[in-house]
Amino acid sequence: MTTSARPTTPTRPGEVVLATVADVGEVVARARNRYAAGVLADTTGWTDGDRRRLEDLGFRGGDPRGAALRTLDLTIADDGTPTRLLDNPALASLNGEHARFAERRGEVARYLPDVSVWTGIPEHPTAEDWEDVRGLIGSGAVFGVGASVVVPEGWHTVEGSGGVQLTGESIEGTPDAEAVELTPDDVPEMTELVTRTKPGPFLPRTIELGRYVGVRREGRLIAMAGERLHPPGWTEISAVCTDEAFRGQGLGRRLVLDVAYGIRQRGEVPLMHAAAGNTGAIGLYQHLGFRLRDRGAPRFVQVP
């Protein structure tokens, strides 16, 4: 006999709900393909046999939200570290903390065009998924794909556009006394600083993705950094930039550590991306304690 398995407590961001034990194989496969953080089942009223079936599939109890809850963790990568969601941080974010910023077509999701340029596709995209990418972002658009994605014939990676991913498991961060919280009222000045320094895309609503901080001198914004992608358990530090006239004073390093401190205070781990050719930034982040993650090196594909 199968019974309803609807949770009596809220799910965590990126967690998929298992409705009945009969659905378990399909739900787990789809959740994994969509870079979900896990699958949750409330086994109140279930038979011992149904509970054992879940446990045989890797579901575990002991959840503080309820003794009857069983969860399957989908965050573990091939190397055994809890970094699998970083293989596609955009889709993991859009299916979790940032769902409110998502535009979707089938299993493909992108950020609203005034929020971020990132697009996420399933781990094993079908022909229909690739057509959904085309329909969602349009021919000629460029988007990132995970390490395991097989690009179909006619779709080509963009030469010279590779990047690196860095994780900060050992970073604790330090609050900075000069850092000030930036608000939507600061966006015009933030955009102007980004235009001059070119750290990467910063759009009119990017500030809504997380906490942004900056340094002002004589009232003028001269450096900033903030939070962007938010896969469950992780937060990306992005838009790290300093006005050319004030470089060499360690402002970028200080702001990265300030943002990292806020991330750690939430119990999450900082994450960063950088263009492969930006060796100066990569060297700085590694000096701070970030480590390169080989599997997280993004590839970029152009829609034909």
What tokens were used for 4? Answer: 């309803």
- Please tell me which of 45-54, 103-112, 153-162, 274-283 the model is most confident about, judged by mean pLDDT: 103-112
Quote the pLDDT of residue 161.
64
Interval 204-215 mean pLDDT: 98
- Tell whether the model's pLDDT for residue 3 goes beyond 50: no
Percent of the chain with pLDDT over 70: 96
Tens of pLDDT, residue by residue over 66-93, are: 999 999 999 999 889 999 999 999 999 9
Please state at what angle helix 251-265 crosses helix 279-288, rounded to 10 degrees. 50
Within 13 Å, how many C-alpha atoms sit on residue 78's CB side?
7
Radius of gyration of the chain (CA): 21
- Tell whether the model's pLDDT for residue 1 goes beyond 80: no
Instruction: Please tell me the pTM assigned to this model.
Output: 0.93
Quote the pLDDT of residue 8.
63
DSSP string, 13-41: TTEEEP-BGGGHHHHHHHHHHTT-SEEEE
- CB contact at 8 A, 90 and 120: yes
Within 13 Å, how many C-alpha atoms sit on residue 5's CB side?
26
Distance from C-alpha of 209 to C-alpha of 226, rounded to nearest angstrom: 9
- Tell whether the model's pLDDT for residue 157 goes beyond 50: yes
Distance from C-alpha of 187 to C-alpha of 203, rounded to nearest angstrom: 9
Quote the pLDDT of residue 163.
84
Q: CB atoms < 10 A from the CB of 128, how many?
A: 12
- Tell whether the model's pLDDT for residue 2 goes beyond 50: no
